[in-house]
Structure 1
Amino acid sequence: MPRRNNENEQPNCCRCCTGFLFSSGLTALLLWLTLKSSSPKYSIESFYVPVLNKNSTSVNSTTISFDLRLKNENRNKGIYYDALDLTFFYYFPENSSFSEIGNITIPEFYQGHLKTAHRVESIRSYGVSLKDVKMKAPNGSSTTMFRVDLDTEVRYKIMLSRTKRHRMRLGVNVTVNDEGAKSVDRGLRFSSAASHFNGLTTLVRNFLALLILYFGIISV
């Protein structure tokens, strides 16, 4: 009889340990999701090249103006932006290559949670004659492509602390019509090929394994 009691106590002990691990895993998952920071969203809302406007008299203009939108979607975290370096490129369709035509640095700033900021700026292009680009446009072609690359680092403000810096290197292609403006009405979002979900994937995988183990022991 005593031996039978020991045998009954052992599964109960396993259930308690597994239940504790399950609760700890669930707590860790919820805590991680709460503290997880979402990267800011960057987009080009307007983009204008006067010399490419077929109705413009600014035939010698080298100016490119744009509106950069930055959105913080975090509910409880502010964002400290380091200086944002923007580099502009012109696309040569004949050899599928890009050539740098300008750059600008936007000063660092702080953005509160759930806030949206706009930086309306302009640059003077170099290296490629936009006037010649307009003149050499193929017959029937009404669009010209540019690319904008963004390079910065951000820190997240969580309560009274700041996280380490996170590097942001993104880019977006902008197609301009024969009126010198971007050819689509919606904002063009910057993107990157890098994945930011590896940490979440690993955590969820471990949590699911713990869940299967817990219910497997309960059913014994």
Structure 2
Amino acid sequence: MAGPDNCCSCCFSFIVTMGLTALFIWLSLRVDQPKFYLDSIYVPALNKSLPSTTTANDTVLFTIKFTNPNKDKGIKYDAVRLNLSLFLSPNSTRLLSNSTAVAPFYQGHQKKAHKPSSASFLGNLTPPAVLDGKVYFRVDFATAVKYKILFWYTKRYGMWGGANVEINDKGVKVYRKPVRLGNEPPRIVNGVPELRGGYRALLPLFVAGWIIMRTR
């Protein structure tokens, strides 16, 4: 007959084993979302160094970068649709193109992929809307992904996002680094730094201190 110590040891071992098993399953099923970037973009109609016949071109060339951060999980992408819009004001845009930019493909563990593509404008781009001497595009994507865990796939997960892209007079984006296509709303920020939560909480104290100093 097993003693109390043996029963406690068995229970403890069972709990530890079940905990480690649950942790292993959780780590196996846990996934990190892929990251999408606008690696490059070229709008011939905005390249002022080209002849006028070229600036009437209604096409745009771009490359999207896909990054899979998962060490042991592949990703299967559905077709990726891309919307290109032109900013008319800091909070309004006009749709220029809506097309399938990238065909479905599979991406291996911790792999990166660069997918070049092109699209045609739905309407006339010229003369473009200029805000503070600059031309801004809004780039949005939408797709769905499935994660491959060992030999099976998860269900589909919808993904979407976008970013604002400033285009110079050469028809390319101002900043050379890839632009992360996140979930930011389509608007142009004014560049004024915002107060962080901690500093905002201290603002009344600063104001009160300033008033006391003025009244002395």
Q: What TM-score, normalized to structure 1?
A: 0.71
Residue pairs, 1:52-63, within 5 angstroms: 52-57=46-51, 58-63=54-59
Q: 2:130 aligns with which of 137, 141, 145?
A: 137
Higher share of residues assigned helix: 1
Residues 134-182 of structure 1: per-residue CA shift (max 9 Å, x gap): xx636x71x2111111111111111111111111111121111121110
Matched, 1:192 2:186: no
Aligned equivalents of 1:148, 1:49: Cα separation in 2: 13
Letter in 1 for 2:50: S
Matched, 1:38 2:32: yes
Matched, 1:68 2:59: no
Equivalent residue, structure 2, for 1:160: 151
Residue pairs, 1:1-220, within 5 angstroms: 21=15, 24-25=18-19, 27-57=21-51, 58-93=54-89, 96-105=91-100, 106-127=102-123, 129-133=124-128, 137=130, 141=133, 143-192=134-183
Aligned equivalents of 2:141, 2:154: Cα separation in 1: 21
Question: Could you say what secondary structure the match of 2:109 adopts?
Answer: coil
**Does structure 1 conserve the Cα–Cα contact (< 8 Å) formed by 2:83 and 2:140?**
yes
| Displacement over 6 Å in runs of 4+ | 12-16
**Does structure 1 conserve the Cα–Cα contact (< 8 Å) formed by 2:39 and 2:64?**
yes
Quote the offset at 1:28 in angstroms.
2.3
- Of structures 1 and 2, the one with the larger relative CO (CA 8 A, separation 6+) is 1
Aligned equivalents of 2:7, 2:70: Cα separation in 1: 42
Quote the offset at 1:192 in angstroms.
2.4
Aligned equivalents of 2:95, 2:130: Cα separation in 1: 19
Residues 33-55 of structure 1: per-residue CA shift (max 9 Å, x gap): 24311111110010111111121
Letter in 1 for 2:36: Y
**Structure 1 residues 15 and 190: alpha-carbon distance in aligned structure 2, compared to 1, 3 A threshold:** farther
Quote the offset at 1:78 in angstroms.
1.2
- Give ranges in structure 2 of 5+ residues lacking alignment: 185-216
Quote the offset at 1:15 in angstroms.
9.4
Equivalent residue, structure 1, for 2:194: none
Aligned equivalents of 2:80, 2:12: Cα separation in 1: 49
Give % identity.
39
Aligned equivalents of 1:160, 1:49: Cα separation in 2: 42
Residues 118-146 of structure 1: per-residue CA shift (max 9 Å, x gap): 1111111123x32211xx636x71x2111
Question: Could you say what secondary structure the match of 2:126 adopts?
Answer: helix
Letter in 2 for 1:51: A
- Please, what is the CA RMSD of the aligned residues? 2.5
